[in-house]
Amino acid sequence: MGPEDLKGKKRILVDGLATQEDCDMLLDLAQASALINTSTLFWGRFVDSPTNRNTPLKQTAKLVQKGVITVESADRFLTLTEKARQFVHRYFRLGPELYVQFTHLVCRTAEPYSSDQRIDLSHTVHSDNCKLNYDDWTCEPYEPHLGPLHARHYSSVIFLNDGFKGGKFFFSNRNLTAEATVQPKCGRVVAFSSGPENPHGVQAVVEGRRCVIAVWFTLDKTHDELRRHEARKVVDSLWKSGGHQSKAEL
């Protein structure tokens, strides 16, 4: 599905970035993270909405060693998000290097007694690198305490599952209704430029649980996600110590 179908120039949707095995393993990883009451996963974050638990997960290696998170699932997480980076870099023909700015694994679970009649949003219409004013559609910088959101140049959402109701991703027009809608399914990815030209949101999940990996990218090396590289070193070291080989090395 290209720009015409998605109603915008810098938008693309493709299937097959992840296999069903990849998705199943990452869903298990999300479940394991939820069971230990954490929302920070590796270098980025894991959030299980609507509870929005935000407990730091500081020692990835210990969690892998304890068997809470497997080395293979951590490796697949890193490998899949790297595939997303390469795809975005290639598709949008970005001359300079593209860096991962932030990685976010999020699962949204339907609230009790939700119905198909819900019209509220699970994630309100927004832009990824500036704060939209819905009255005149101007876009102001986010507050500094929220982090370097201004450095986000491209965004991607990797869908890990279907089998739930609601939870569709959509690009919005100026009256805050969907002009293009994306149905989640394993391995599907939607990518787009992060500015006000691509306002987007998520419909309410009314039944089941929806999980995605959101990855934001930057052209500014100073905002490269350094903890991501640290996580790769940890995972590769654990692979080798166990006699395994990382998928990134195959």
Residue appearing with tokens 């309100």: 124
Q: Are 63 and 44 in contact (CB under 8 A)?
A: no
- Tell me which of 108, 210, 228, 232 is the catalytic residue: 210
Query: If we measure between CA atoms, which residue out of 112, 13, 28 comes closest to residue 74?
Result: 28
Q: Check if the beta carbon of residue 33 is closer than 8 Å to that of residue 69.
A: yes
Beta bridge partners of 104: 45, 214
Per DSSP, helices labelled H in the chain are 3-6, 20-35, 60-65, 71-91, 226-241
Query: What is the Cβ-side half-sphere exposure of residue 168, based on CA atoms within 13 angstroms?
Result: 14
- End-to-end Cα, the chain, rounded Å: 30
Angle between helices 71-91 and 226-241 (to 10 degrees): 140
| 111 Cβ contact partners less than 8 Å away, ≥ 6 residues apart | 50
232 is catalytic: no
C-alpha closest to that of 80 among 17, 35, 124: 17
Pairwise CA distance, residues 48 & 67, whole Å: 21
Q: Hey, which residues are catalytic here? A: 210
